[in-house]
Amino acid sequence: MGLRSPKENITLKLCGKVYNLKATKSEEHLLLKAADQLNRILSGQKQQHPNADEKDILIMTAFDLIVQSLTEQDELQTSLDRIKVLNKQLDEILPNN
């Protein structure tokens, strides 16, 4: 049996609604940070579009976050591919000892 961090109850408030979750201490920090960021983004969207339906704001926010995530994944993959090329070039230049 491996050592696992115990999960504790945490409370998140998202879009004005309270959610009770279980998380380890290390997960808790990330979840609280994510909830805070999401609430700030939604608040900003509501200020920019005061007449928009809340469902539309949620959908567009989710869409924007997914586009941002995919863009970052593409940039990371491009960087990893470049590192592989550089490593290959270094292997060809440097002697193998």
Q: Is the full-model pTM beyond 0.85? A: no
Residues 29 and 58 in one domain: no
pLDDT score of 38 more than 60: yes
- What is the domain count for the chain? 2
Range of the domain at 8: 1-51
Residues 96 and 63 in one domain: yes
Query: What does the pLDDT read at residue 51?
Result: 96
pLDDT score of 49 more than 90: yes
| Amino acid, single-letter form, for residue 1 | M
User: What CA–CA distances, in Å, run from 61 to 11, 42, 64, 89?
Assistant: 22, 7, 5, 42
Q: Which residues of 78-93 are buried (b: 16+ CB within 10 A; e: fewer)?
A: eeeeeeeeeeeeeeee
Sign, Cα dihedral of 67, 72, 77, 81? positive
